[in-house]
Structure 1
């Protein structure tokens, strides 16, 4: 068969194009398979139970559900399962504030008393919306109040009623002085949105964000409403689960009351990338490095960090936020340069979504990544529950050398508190003591052990451990408060 030169060239070009497209498909397929295997292993080890979505170059390459949305009825998680978002809510609150600023209805640099005239002038005249948005207001964080979760969190409040619980409190520092995470600040932003617009926070969300973007599976989570595909929230106890304690959703409000799906959060990501509901200039304000937060920075409802990309000498800028609320923890991370997105929504309470996100980023950038290991802390809890403290600790020490298990300070701290809250003081003290021996350079392990000794009335050891914690971390205000109380007694 004879073929003219230009036809040969055209044929060659088409073959190359098809080959390139096929290679891109195979690469994406390989990455998707790696993510599937990775998250499957996290699920097998009891470290993930939820929904996942990963996009690369703005296109979804993987989405799936793992474990159960409802354990009582064996209903699986899927990409359309609705999860409570916790503090991911804050980025939607920040968006509403900037939309209202763009409309000329408010300013970021004026005192909050301008919009909340009933707020105490002593503080309301020096705190600005910028301070609220960046957690630099100095307003005490209401979720840290004594007995907040045991008592206050179960009762319904109107925004004005709940604001009354903290508005007269003394500021922890001068506004703008430093970053200290405060749900109270974002609660006030919700109230300001209502005052400025004359509409509820929920109505503003629907009219300004969810309806324009066609985010049909997102909203304010009301406990009493029948909501199709809503996940139940659970808390992990060792290798088993219990239903999460009740939380009235009027309390997280503009700081953490929303639900969504991984698919809707992909729509949200694309809207941010295209400046669909806010100008480019003001969208950039959301992600700007307004204030230093540890080793990273905080914008408006978003954190900014860097992660090695493996593709250049520079690091990959990652914009994201996590969330935690009774029975759920969540994480969304975006890399504007690569147009990548990772969304993890988990409905079994605390787990290390940050580690999972890092491993997925490594897959996207063709870097080596670490496979998960079983939790040694959970192993210890099961052994103590089954065989008692002494036998449990002995089994733990024997298993410690196994590469199958990994020991994490936060995991040990969590099971110590589970024992403490269950009134199992001997077990809690044993776990906290192990944590001190394993992580002697951590201030937090001494703080937790001090609390356990305080619970059983051993003031001498409680004081000793609180002192050690404060020496290592002079900013440990909770430790200072407990120490002051103990010394007074």
Structure 2
């Protein structure tokens, strides 16, 4: 297993959810970084290094330890020395342990009955280089601009970082703006306990769209918002999403009227254009927010609306088997 495998998510390591006890609060309070490294070492790779792709924060945690070994400095100090200070990223840092950052934005998720609830603190030292960095839109813009020059990263390093065949976490692709216009982008997104982010670099025109959310919005909605803004950048009209079913359901979740909104959409379903991917993203967000009953109902509705979709059937099955859905009162009837 090489650094390249860790950087490109081809190491075979599973994600941190595979660590026994990960969802137990005591695990985060009692496990040291050294003990965590030992637990990773005991995991069985899911495939031979280089044999497949699987996103793994554990690989990036280990990369952070490699940085500390090679620089003989903490990960925080290395990030400050080689990235933050040269690029004047003064609103960025690295979260450590359970340390409280009272001046920073907290992460929230939906709660049963409406509104939001603040997420329980995690031991950020167990995420390390995988998810412990915090920053701002302004600092990410500085980082973005630095990637266009050669003072921060050499041309050789950038070609390796943004290799279309084996990129280091970035998505290298073209996205459609109109039927006749596609633009080249580098995209990176992330999600963690109420925080959700997406950065899209329109590399031919040096546009950037940076989304930072503290309410855990889905990848689909981040992508949809990015495309809507991109359309404006390239002279297109803003889509009218006033009657978007997914956005209506989200308003229902936040206001505590999900069931009323959901039943209304079902009753008038012939008047709406349902998007399977959009609804599925919402259903998963409901599940991860531990609003499992509404999640299963929505997954079952998606399956009924898209009867020829293998993905709709699989998603319902996955949701029914999820640990957060085990105690749903009508789970058996929904999942059968």
Q: Does 1:273 align with 2:158?
A: no
Larger radius of gyration: 1
The CA deviation at 1:344 is 0.8
Q: Does 1:337 align with 2:209?
A: no
| 1:262-281 Cα distance to aligned partner (Å, 9 max, x none) | 11111101111112222111
Cα distance change on mapping 1:353 and 1:414 into 2, 3 Å: same
Q: Does 1:191 align with 2:65?
A: yes
| 1:4-34 Cα distance to aligned partner (Å, 9 max, x none) | xxxxxxxxxxxxxxxxxxxxxxxxxxxxxxx
1:300 equivalent in structure 2: 168
Cα distance in structure 1, aligned partners of 2:257 and 2:11 = 48
- Three-state SS of the structure 1 residue aligned to 2:226 is helix
Q: Does 1:143 align with 2:14?
A: no
Cα distance in structure 2, aligned partners of 1:453 and 1:204 = 42
2:225 equivalent in structure 1: 356
Cα distance in structure 1, aligned partners of 2:21 and 2:301 = 27
| 1:191-239 Cα distance to aligned partner (Å, 9 max, x none) | 11111111111110011111111111111024535564x1122112475
If asked which structure has higher relative contact order (CA below 8 Å, sep 6+), I would say 1
1:25 equivalent in structure 2: none
Q: Does 1:378 align with 2:282?
A: no
The CA deviation at 1:461 is 7.7
Cα distance in structure 2, aligned partners of 1:129 and 1:263 = 30
Cα distance in structure 2, aligned partners of 1:459 and 1:227 = 40
1:251 equivalent in structure 2: 126
Partners of 1:133 and 1:185 within 8 A in 2: yes
Q: Does 1:409 align with 2:275?
A: no
- Three-state SS of the structure 2 residue aligned to 1:164 is helix
Q: Does 1:347 align with 2:221?
A: no
1:290 equivalent in structure 2: 165
Partners of 1:417 and 1:428 within 8 A in 2: no
1:208 equivalent in structure 2: 82
Cα distance change on mapping 1:429 and 1:307 into 2, 3 Å: closer
Partners of 2:287 and 2:325 within 8 A in 1: no
Cα distance in structure 2, aligned partners of 1:220 and 1:364 = 33
Cα distance in structure 1, aligned partners of 2:123 and 2:145 = 31
Cα distance change on mapping 1:152 and 1:131 into 2, 3 Å: farther
What are structure 1's unaligned runs of at least 5 residues? 1-126, 292-298, 466-489
Cα distance change on mapping 1:434 and 1:404 into 2, 3 Å: closer
User: Which of 415, 434, 444 is residue 315 of structure 2 equivalent to?
Assistant: 444
TM-score, structure 1 as length reference: 0.58
What are structure 2's unaligned runs of at least 5 residues? none
- Three-state SS of the structure 2 residue aligned to 1:187 is helix
- Three-state SS of the structure 1 residue aligned to 2:212 is strand
RMSD: 3.3
1:88-103 pair list within 5 angstroms: none
Partners of 2:287 and 2:295 within 8 A in 1: yes
